[in-house]
Chain A
Amino acid sequence: MSASAKEIEQLIGKEYKQGFVTELETDTFPPGLDEEVIYKLWKIKNEPEFMLEYRLKAFRHWQTMKSPEWAFVKFDPIDYQAVSYYSAPKRKEDGPKSLDEVDPQILEAYKKLGIPLDEQERLAGVAVDAVFDSVSVATTFKSKLKEAGVIFCPISEALREYPELVQQYLGSVVPTGDNFFAALNSAVFTDGSFVYIPKGVRCPMELSTYFRINAANTGQFERTLIIADEGSYVSYLEGCTAPMRDENQLHAAVVELIALDNAEIKYSTVQNWYPGDKEGKGGIYNFVTKRADCRGENSKVSWTQVETGSAITWKYPSCVLTGNNSIGEFYSVALTNNYQQADTGTKMIHIGKNTRSTIISKGISAGRAQNTYRGLVKVLKGAENARNYTQCDSLLVGDKCGAHTFPYVEVKQPSAQVEHEATTSKISEDQLFFCQQRGLSAEDAVSMIVNGFCKEVFKELPMEFAVEAQALLGLSLEGSVG
């Protein structure tokens, strides 16, 4: 072993920085799930009538479903009765009216994560909704957004304040019975973000939600619903972390995006859930359904994700290209190290005429991790002149990891053009030595090579996020060479 490899071995012990636990008094439901729990949830959230029916329908459907087994991931069956479905920091009756009323412990937790909720401290131009365990604890810049007519609030609040709007769109992209985890989410989701951008409005700032799982033995089931009305534009960022715990924690979110005529939504995620320790113990199960409906003509949705966390990632942000001339994009970096498993990709469903989609996927595997790209490009009969371009690249670091690519293509329209390119490469000894010979440490060299590999995706991220993503990759790769 060379000297640099030894150095790197020592760095393997580097810990997950966001792994702290915040001591809080919480209202937590005892573990278990039945109709009674759902009723209690509905009651405690003070939701409109239709939601009880919505939840119960989803729950009944879920009971008939099976956990999907087709993904290239391995885990022990989850005991859904051992999970608590509601955990919220204890607080006064109505919840905080302003930041002054938010538990200082929670503000401290977000500060530690580098997300100050104090509006003055916040970088100008980004409004944040902070979701702590099951509930949204703070949303910043509310009044400024209101001036522009933008609604950005916890979905629980939207259900009370704008029930018709929510009812019209909720479940219209991901129906209650869509898949096992989506059905579970529909039955038990507790909070998340709601965004509505009115006609012709360009949202004056980036919107951001920061998810944090704190309590033990709870699942986080958040729900995000974003509606971009005709001719509007919004850029939305999502970040996630969790404490280090020995047991696995479940995160089963659903995100629905709706873009109407000439509207554009840009959705960026930097996912850094706790990945488990280096022996593969603990970590988040990230089973997420994300889907966009480009419902209007000339609408556009762009997903950009950087996935470095979670023990298991099961996630396929997709676009249903319903409107004519609509555009769907998917840019992804998925990095797995140690014993992490990721099965991620996208679905592009071309329905409208002249619809276009682009898929750029970069998978990086290190340690003993398994990284899978799974994608579907489907062109329906009516989608004349549909075009898709897919590029799928895998990079291996070391010789104990795996990279897999499962591209599915279904084309029912003869005028469609579908392109697929795939490569697999390895960081070579020669590349590493070359960089070291120029003065870089092996770690910095790997980080630089990986960042270069991901460049096409990073350039899609908002500036602030791109910097964070690069740093995160470097951190997640520590100890991966040697």
Chain B
Amino acid sequence: MLNIENLHVSVVDKPILKGINLQVKPGEIHAIMGPNGSGKSTLSHVLSGKSGYTVTQGQVTYEGKDLTEMAPEIRAREGVFLAFQYPVEIPGVSNIYLLKAALNSIRKHHGLSEVDAMDFLTLIKEKVRLLEMDERFLYRAVNEGFSGGEKKRNEILQMAVLEPKLCILDETDSGLDIDALKVVAEGVNSIRSPERSFVMITHYQRLLDYIKPDFVHVLAHGQIVKSGGPELALELEEKGYSWVENKQAA
């Protein structure tokens, strides 16, 4: 599904990613861990098409197509979803309006007709129940006045409604207390499927207690310095990032 080969990325001539290799197959969950400043968020931004990043070397293919050539909205319509670390507020635009506009733009891209209002309402209410959210949530302006936990849950709601193929979770666990973390994790687990892949970027191991990854990668200084199974996360938790960082230097 996603194939990253020798990816080098710079921000204003400063190299941030220095040769990333990663392969994600349908249904897999990959966790990318690493210390602050290792390039985790840069990776999520480059995959989702945020401007300001220059790919200097290597390539990223998504379902056989060159991802870096696609505009961000095209990537989204093709099934790439980024759950933001800091979801923005859009005053005056209700959640339900955004969701409907987004869903319709994706449907249109795939040659489908706009979703019927009644069908949409049924669909969205089902998702809201799934995520144990209050329906009133839908009619509030996007993220305006939301708590940190509500914002993150809102991201998962959008993910559940838009049904992407590749979900990138950028530090979705940051700023969440343990209860909110559980709810978010359950939400993610509920939409796992054999076709849907996840790339979870996280600083801490605790998210992985709730969402079991198939692979764990450690990112340091713009490179994946170690890959392994879920046990790697526990080892990291115990020994700290300096363990892998030093290893790389050695």
Contact = CB atoms under 8 A, between A and B. Distances in A.
A428 interface: yes
Contact of B90 (A7, A431, A441): A431
B185 interface: no
A454 interface: yes
B93 A439 contact: no
A449 interface: yes
Given A4-B73, A433-B51, A438 B93 contact: no
Contact of B87 (A434, A436, A451, A452): A434
Contact of B92 (A429, A444, A453): A453
B84 interface: yes
A455 B76 contact: no
Interface in B49-77: 49-51, 71-73, 75-77
B51 A2 contact: yes
B84 A434 contact: yes
Nearest to A395: B91
A2 to B, nearest CB: 4
Contacts of B71: 2-4, 7, 436
A384 B164 CA distance: 61
B92 A455 contact: yes
Given A7-B71, A434-B84, A452-B141, A429 B93 contact: no
Contact of A451 (B73, B76, B82, B93): B93
A437 interface: yes
Contact of A441 (B50, B51, B73): B73
Contact of A439 (B86, B90, B105): B105
Contacts of B73: 4, 436-437, 439-442
A436 B76 contact: yes
Given A429-B51, A444-B101, A438 B76 contact: yes
Contact of B77 (A2, A439, A448, A453): A439
Please indicate which of the listed interface residues B73, B88, B98, B158 has the most CB atoms of chain A within 10 Å of its own CB: B73
A455 B76 CA distance: 27
B92 A440 contact: no
A121 interface: no
Interface in B17-50: 48-50
A451 B92 contact: yes
A439 B102 CA distance: 5
Contacts of A449: 90, 93
Nearest to A449: B90
Contacts of B81: 437
B70 to A, nearest CB: 8
Interface size class of A (residues with CB under 8 A): 20 to 34
B207 interface: no
B106 interface: yes
Interface string A414-450: 0000000000000011110111111111101000110
B109 interface: yes
A438 B92 contact: no
Nearest to B143: A434
A437 B77 contact: no
Contacts of A3: 71
Contacts of B91: 452-453
B85 to A, nearest CB: 11
Given A430-B88, A451-B93, A438 B162 contact: yes
B168 to A, nearest CB: 10
Contact of B72 (A431, A437, A451): A437
B76 A452 contact: no
A149 to B, nearest CB: 40
Contacts of A7: 71
B101 A440 contact: yes
Nearest to A1: B51
Nearest to B79: A439
A448 B49 CA distance: 21
B48 A437 contact: yes
A80 B224 CA distance: 74
Contact of A433 (B50, B93, B97): B50
Nearest to A362: B92
B92 A433 contact: no
25 contacts: A2-B72, A4-B71, A7-B71, A429-B51, A433-B50, A433-B72, A435-B102, A436-B73, A436-B76, A437-B48, A437-B73, A437-B76, A437-B81, A438-B76, A439-B102, A439-B103, A439-B106, A440-B73, A440-B101, A441-B105, A444-B101, A448-B93, A452-B90, A452-B92, A454-B92
Interface of A: 2-4, 7, 428-431, 433-442, 444, 448-449, 451-456
Interface of B: 48-51, 71-73, 75-77, 81-82, 84, 86-88, 90-93, 97-98, 101-103, 105-106, 109, 141, 158, 162
Given A2-B71, A431-B90, A453-B91, 6 more contacts: A4-B72, A434-B90, A437-B84, A439-B103, A439-B105, A439-B162
